[in-house]
Amino acid sequence: MNDRLKAIPRHIAIIMDGNGRWAKKHALNRISGHRKGADAVRSVINVCLELGISYLTLYAFSVDNWNRPVKEVNALMGLLIRHLTTELPAMMKGGIRLNVIGDISRLTGAVQTEISKVLRETEQNKTLVLTLALNYGGREDIVQAVQKLLNARDMGLLPQQDLNKEVIGQYLFTASIPDPDLLIRTSGEYRLSNFLLWQAAYTELYFTDVLWPDFGKDDLLKAVEDFQKRERRFGKTSDQLVEAN
């Protein structure tokens, strides 16, 4: 891989799917699957640091995950708090800055407090921006952006002629980070599940049958190698890309 470092994606997004199926496969409860999935997060972050990837976005909790059993949701919130607390020293050492997208107002006060603490502590870190999508949905993201746009229009801050896709992008939760170059989904499912719908317009998609808790360094490298073989044309022809270079 070293001879192709120039083709490393700048931003990787991951739909971390398969914790429950992993637990069932190993005759464990679903919470155990989520705990094991947290280990995979740590492994993937370390690989991103090794490769020099600048942005990593993880679909940690969707707006639809509230439909899961209360016990499981509460356990996920507890795991999130523990993960943020225990990983903070490593984040500081690795130069990792936490970023959060989604409406976190619905999360428990304890979770919001820990998020605020880690956001504050890591805000000056510059090596890797780790974005957690919490209570996030792609459609909901677009709706809240439109609501903000309408408010700005009502206040006279947005003339009609200024409304374009760049302006809309500035009102999305992801305004501070670039669109993902590569989006990975584990566990053999082939859908976006309401994740980064606007932002993934030209993102390369990679699907693997590997369950998230089993997803490790070799799996991420395989996804990156697949990305490196693709030609990203953004609507242009191959000949146009050659001429531009």
Residues tagged active-site:
17, 65
Residues ≥6 apart with Cβ < 8 Å to 192: 15, 138, 183, 185, 200
Q: Which residue in 119, 170, 120 sits closest to 146, CA to CA?
A: 170
Bridge partners, residue 14, by sequence = 58, 184
Measured between alpha carbons, how far is 172 from 51 in angstroms, rounded to an integer?
28
For CA atoms 81, 82, 86, 91, the dihedral sign is: negative
Is residue 27 helix, strand or coil?
Answer: coil
Which amino acid, one-letter code, is at 32? S
Dihedrals φ, ψ of 11, to 5°? -135, 120
Phi-psi category of residue 56: left, alpha or beta, with phi > 0 → left and psi -120 to 50 → alpha: beta
Measured between alpha carbons, how far is 219 from 60 in angstroms, rounded to an integer?
19
Beta strand 11-15 pairing with 55-62:
parallel
Measured between alpha carbons, how far is 78 from 76 in angstroms, rounded to an integer?
5
Beta strand 55-62 pairing with 96-101:
unpaired
